[in-house]
A and B are shown apart, each in its own frame.
Chain A
Amino acid sequence: MAQITINNKQIDVPDGTTVLRAAEMAGIHIPRLCEHKELTPYGGCRLCIVEVQGVRVPMASCTLPVNNGMVINTETEAIKKSRKFILSMLFSERNHFCPFCQVSGGDCELQNAAYAEEMTHWPIQPGWNDFPVDTSHPYFVLDNNRCILCRRCVRACSEMAGNFTLSVAERGAKSMIVADTDIPLGESTCIKCGSCVQVCPTGALIDRTSAYQGHDEQMTEVKSVCAGCSVGCSIKIMVRDNRIVRIEGDWDGPVNHGALCEHGRYDAVTESRKRITSPMVKKNGKLEPVSWDEALNTVKEKLQALNGDKHGVAGLASTRLPAETLAAFNDLFKGKFQSDLVTSIEEGVPTAAVAKYAEGHENFEGKIDALRTADAVMCIGANLQTSHMVAGFQFKRNLTKGTRLINIDPEESGLDDLANIVIKPKAGTDLALIRGLQAIIAKEGLERSSLKIKDADKIIKNAVAETDISLEKLTQAARLLANAISPVILYGKGVTAQRDAQIVEALHQLAVQIGAEDSERNGLLSLKGESNSQTATLLGLDQPFSLNGHKVTYLAIGDDYVSKSLVERAVKSAYLVVQASYESKLTENADVLLPVTLWAEQEGHYINLDGRIRKAEKAITAPENVRDNLDVLTDLAKRMNLSLDTDWQKAIRGRKSSVALN
């Protein structure tokens, strides 16, 4: 601890705390622009200068660690004068004319800083230098004319997304933000996560969809959970007039700490599918709008006779639906109707094998946090550049700081370029590969916990033969993993799609063997799939969707996307009921169509890939005549004199989970 005095106030703070943070602890605000709580201090804008007794010049408090006995003043006349001068210099650098900037009027940190210093004008007029504007990106515009070179975006790109696309070109007053080797942003390695836009303190990074749509104070901020995938990022939905204007990562989010991916940030605001706004029933081969009453009674008539018939109704629900809805769906068709085919849209591809193994090894998987501190990551069958990107951010950002990556994927993967070791085994040889790694580690005596492997040579030989990967490369990977202090194994659809619990078992053994999993840490995790993948699996909604003479098919698609394969199978149904938000090839073929709410129009719980149970909030109101997903199922059940079990918390605990639920 260090005892310091700030503005005559004494405070004890932990060693290593910066003066700026210490001041915050003492309730003293120091103006800043380049500083951001989720980014490494940079000390670039100099606005946070303070006076330190015994030091000749003002010091930037964001990069200055406290010293025991330090005496600091943040509001002396000299400091206030310098601060105003620093702002004057910043304004003089580029085009900071406020009237035509989308952040002016509350959302600009530069303007707010000037207001706080009561600046009525610029003592130094601008130099009129013209800088490039990059409009090549689909989601945002980079206007270097409004940039103050705080480098928050550069740091967000590397420290949040781990993507290292943005950097600074040129020197001094000519410095500017560029993508890669100064190529258009839209053609760069940018993964479009938008973290840079979220941290920009001025109007230099302009969000195309939300610019000029109103200031933050005119919007309602709804804290919720992203329904995009199983990572379960915490989000802030910015709503104005019942419209989602923008989605931001919630800095307090336990999984993402403010980061989001392209899908989480932009999918909802760039949605182009056509909404279904009225219940429809097929009459004379054509879907006709009808009342809810008529639609639900039509379904009731069809379903009622099938109660108890296991080949009666086939049910399939989206894993983007809340736990409450999934549990109700499961209870209606599996519990009450006793159907033998009730599953989810993912058909258990990302979870069934994991769940099967979990039956004997409850909670064998760990937490996503392990990725942040991992010094070696083995990704197998998990392309984190296209899905579950925020999980990838957690270790990608450390790749330049020594964390090493082994990427195992027979398919082309964006992670290949980042990996220290790339292994492309023949498809379907994962088991042999993992056992080979186990055997090499055992043979080389690198085990943290012995697997007691017999005949290692034979296993290794087999691995080389089956995978078509050289012994040298396998050995390299095995050594890297075994020598790591905190290794993590992350596996995805590439592995789980094989529906083989043996591979999961082998991965678990490997994790124990290399010390990724021991009494202190747990560094084994599967990615799962959509936002409620784990919930669906816990409810047992994870079997393949194979129609077998079922008389009615009930698809609760919600706002999910439908694959070609699902459409091909579903249209063969004798009678098709579709509960969906958007028109699709599937809805065209429905006999009854029930329009339902989107993720943001309903509330409900989600269980993410590492078992966190969290509630997503309702942010906007659905159009008239569109009903809540759960409400539709409950109403339908009521019409058939059935009462659905509403205890979803109990329902999901009917099966052992691969991750501890909390």
Chain B
Amino acid sequence: MTKPKIASDWICGCAGCHMSLLDMDERILKIVELADLRSTPITDLKEPDESGVDVGVLEGGINNSANEEVAHKMRQRAKILVALGDCAVFGGVPALRNFCGVEAALKQAYEDAPSNEPGSKIPDDPELATMTKTRAIHEVVPVDYNVPGCPPDPDVIFYVLSELAQGRKPELKDELLHWH
């Protein structure tokens, strides 16, 4: 029997959830034993296999057109999609800009903030992705498992990945369920 394939990626997050994933220490060997780790931000392969993976993990919310593309690609290629961490699940800290709007946030960041050079402008290179409202993954593509936490505890990540790798459905409750 071939091992189930797992791919992951981060979009509008802070990489903290992947740090927490690495924080599971030697148990990562158990994951490697159970599953075939494919593309991740910390491995060479940069995209989930075209032929598909069993589990796709996304860290971060969706705040521009590039994020949307990554999310759609992961959804298309993964049988099971996991939203990892508060940004992926709720929108998280980046979603706070929704309270003021994209324009105001960009203006503050690139023009008004005192650390900017005088005359700084919001970048407008056509190559750049288009900014959107920050959304949770499930607002853009269907999600099979939401794993909240800022970041989710390594124990939670290990539990979810090892259950999925063994073909079981992870159930987040009690000690395994936290949003902070």
Contacts and interface: CB of A to CB of B under 8 A. Distances in A.
From B96, B145, B171, B179, name the one whose CB has the most chain A CB atoms within 10 angstroms: B179
Interface in A94-118: 95, 97-101, 104-105, 111, 114-115, 118
Contacts of B96: 95, 97
B98 interface: yes
B178 A115 contact: yes
B118 to A, nearest CB: 30
B93 A99 contact: yes
A56 interface: no
Nearest to A127: B98
Interface residues of B, number: 30
A130 B101 CA distance: 11
B148 interface: yes
Contacts of B90: 97, 121-122, 125
Contacts of A128: 98-99
A130 B99 CA distance: 6
A99 B178 contact: no
Contacts of B100: 130
Contacts of A95: 96, 99
Contacts of B146: 120-121
Contact of B148 (A100, A121, A125): A121
Given A97-B92, A120-B146, A125 B139 contact: yes
Nearest to B149: A99
Chain A interface size band reads: 10 to 19
B135 A125 contact: yes
A121 B138 contact: yes
Nearest to B87: A99
A121 B136 contact: yes
A95 B174 CA distance: 24
Contacts of B150: 98-99
Contacts of A122: 90, 136
A98 B179 contact: yes
Contacts of B89: 120-121
Contact of A120 (B95, B135, B139, B172): B172
B81 to A, nearest CB: 13
B136 A98 contact: no
Question: In this complex, which of A97, A101, A105, A114 has the most chain B Cβ atoms within 10 angstroms of its Cβ?
Answer: A97
A101 B93 CA distance: 12
Interface in A124-148: 125-126, 128, 130
Contacts of B147: 120
Interface in B83-97: 83, 86, 89-93, 95-96
Interface in B148-180: 148, 150, 171-174, 177-180
A131 to B, nearest CB: 10
A99 B177 contact: no
A253 to B, nearest CB: 32
Contacts of B180: 98-99, 101, 104-105, 111
A98 B135 contact: no
A333 to B, nearest CB: 57
Contact of B91 (A101, A105, A120, A125): A125
A503 to B, nearest CB: 60
A115 B176 CA distance: 10
A457 B123 CA distance: 92
Nearest to A129: B99
Contacts of B173: 115, 118
A607 B32 CA distance: 68
A99 B86 contact: yes
Contacts of A104: 179-180
Interface in B53-93: 83, 86, 89-93
B93 A100 contact: yes
A217 B96 CA distance: 29
B112 to A, nearest CB: 18
Contacts of A125: 90-91, 135-136, 139
A97 B99 contact: no
A103 B110 CA distance: 33
A97 B99 CA distance: 12
A101 to B, nearest CB: 8
A115 B95 contact: no
Contact of A115 (B91, B92, B177): B177
Contact of B86 (A97, A105, A111): A97
A115 B148 CA distance: 11
Interface string B19-61: 0000000000000000000000000000000000000000000
A104 B150 CA distance: 11
B172 A97 contact: no
Interface string A453-473: 000000000000000000000
Given A125-B136, A125-B139, A128-B98, A97 B93 contact: yes
A114 B89 CA distance: 14
A115 B175 CA distance: 10
Nearest to A123: B138
Contacts of B143: 121
B99 A98 contact: no
A118 B178 CA distance: 10
A126 B95 CA distance: 10
Nearest to B135: A125
Contact of B179 (A111, A118, A126, A130): A111
B168 to A, nearest CB: 16
Nearest to B147: A120
A125 B98 CA distance: 11
Nearest to A97: B90
Contacts of B93: 97, 99-100
Contacts of A130: 99-100
B83 to A, nearest CB: 8
A105 B178 contact: yes
Contacts of A120: 89, 145-148, 172, 177
* A121, A122, A126, A130, most chain B CB atoms within 10 A: A121
Contacts of B177: 115, 118, 120
Contacts of A100: 93
A133 to B, nearest CB: 12
A224 B162 CA distance: 49
B73 to A, nearest CB: 22
Given A97-B86, A105-B180, A125-B136, A118 B92 contact: no
A129 to B, nearest CB: 8
Contacts of A118: 171-173, 177
A232 B8 CA distance: 60
A80 to B, nearest CB: 14
Nearest to A111: B179
A98 B172 contact: no
A235 B110 CA distance: 51
A178 B95 CA distance: 27
Contacts of B178: 105, 115
30 contacts: A95-B96, A95-B99, A97-B86, A97-B90, A97-B92, A97-B95, A98-B86, A98-B150, A98-B179, A99-B86, A99-B93, A99-B150, A104-B179, A105-B180, A115-B177, A118-B172, A118-B177, A120-B145, A120-B146, A120-B148, A121-B136, A121-B138, A121-B143, A121-B146, A125-B90, A125-B91, A125-B135, A125-B139, A130-B99, A130-B100
Interface of B: 83, 86, 89-93, 95-96, 98-100, 135-136, 138-139, 143, 145-148, 150, 171-174, 177-180
Given A121-B83, A121-B143, 13 more contacts: A97-B86, A97-B91, A97-B95, A100-B93, A104-B180, A105-B178, A114-B179, A118-B171, A120-B145, A122-B136, A125-B90, A125-B91, A125-B139
- Cβ-closest 3 pairs across A and B: A99-B150, A121-B146, A120-B146
